[in-house]
Amino acid sequence: MSKHSFKSWLLATRPWSFPASTMPVLVTLAYLHWMGVSVNWPMGLWAIANIIVFHAAGNTLSDYFDYIKGVDSDETIGGISLTSGEFQPKEIRTLSLALLVFASVSGFAIVATTGLPTLYIGASGFLLTVLYPWLKYHALGDVDIFLTYSLLPILGTSYVATGNFHLQALWLSVPIGLITVGILHANNARDIEHDRRANIKTFAMLIGEKASATVYCAEVIIPFIWIIGGCATGIFPWWALLVLLALKPAIDNARKAMRFPKEGAEQLWGVDEMTAKLQLMFSLLLTLSLFIATYAQ
């Protein structure tokens, strides 16, 4: 394992995807702060660090099973750390297991610090992370991702950082969760033909190319409509309209997706990474807006 540099190991975890796991925690902390709830910021930062490790473990575990099952090959874009031959499957498997152990130990420490409810949320996240490859192959990956990188982190952050569940924070789960699921959906829509040859079933495969393009557009556009509606009803401060600054890249991604059914999978190359960047931009703008609204009162 020493033949690989630290940078190579880091890239094998697909760090470009980490906004999907970190942003729900960050936005939740900012939202709770705007609500006037006392937030334990060190615990919040600990939660961010821990979910990053879990996410890295999930990415590498998924890459391992995709390679072993033949979902990823030298003809596909995914799992490049294995398909390029840079890493051996056992190395990625060992990395994933090490990350899972580290994240679990850290998670138990968080439980010891905050209380038993955290264990239930953490255990659910652990199971969804480990079961993700199987769920993905049976068209349930989108549901898994929404739960793992939206609903559970928002609930968990609420409890870890405040000692209570603040269900109002779940209003964040729709815009944050949809964009995150869009990362996976863009990937799966692009790989429909490869996945069909690998004899697996993803949600994108079940609904087809045209419907997949429409679903992706909804996943990146509805979050903006949700925020506008939330501002109008007082769920979010009017400052949250700052997220509209991220609307153009969302529309650009949607246009590429709509060309996909007629012009082929090439239209979706890189859209998963661009969707992760959209998540980062959208969430940072929302976080900033919540801090501005807090101190502008």
Average pLDDT of span 192-219: 92
Block residue for tokens 């995150």: 180
Instruction: Give the C-alpha distances (Å, rounded to integers) separating 201 from 27, 71, 171, 174, 273.
Output: 33, 11, 31, 25, 22
Q: Helix 89-114 and helix 116-137: axis angle, to 10°? A: 150
Residues constituting the chain = 297
Q: Please report the sign of the dihedral spanned by the C-alpha atoms of residue 143, residue 144, residue 149, residue 154.
A: positive
pTM of the model as a whole: 0.92
Tokens representing 42 are: 């060190």
Mean pLDDT (the chain, rounded):
92
Question: Collapsing DSSP states into helix, strand and coil, what is residue 138?
Answer: strand
Reported as a single tens digit per residue, the pLDDT across 47-94 is 999 999 999 999 999 999 888 887 766 555 555 778 888 889 999 999
| Start-end of H helices in 70-191 | 80-83, 89-114, 116-137, 141-146, 152-162, 173-190
Burial class of residue 85 in the structure, from the number of CB atoms within 10 Å of its CB (0-12 exposed, 13-18 middle, 19+ buried): exposed
Contact 292, 239 (CB under 8 A): yes
Burial pattern 124-154, b for ≥16 Cβ within 10 A else e, equals bbbebbeebbebbbebbbbebbbbbbbbbbb
pLDDT of residue 1: 44
pLDDT tops 50 at residue 140: yes
pLDDT tops 50 at residue 250: yes
pLDDT of residue 74: 56
pLDDT of residue 69: 82
Reported as a single tens digit per residue, the pLDDT across 169-192 is 999 999 999 999 999 999 999 989
d(CA 21, CA 176) in angstroms, rounded, equals: 10
State the DSSP code for 201: B
pLDDT of residue 71: 79
pLDDT of residue 77: 58
pLDDT of residue 78: 56
Average pLDDT of span 190-205: 89
Reported as a single tens digit per residue, the pLDDT across 145-171 is 999 999 999 999 999 999 999 999 999
Q: What is the DSSP string of 232-250?
A: HHTSS-GGGGGGGGGHHHH
d(CA 130, CA 146) in angstroms, rounded, equals: 15
d(CA 144, CA 8) in angstroms, rounded, equals: 28
Contact 51, 172 (CB under 8 A): no
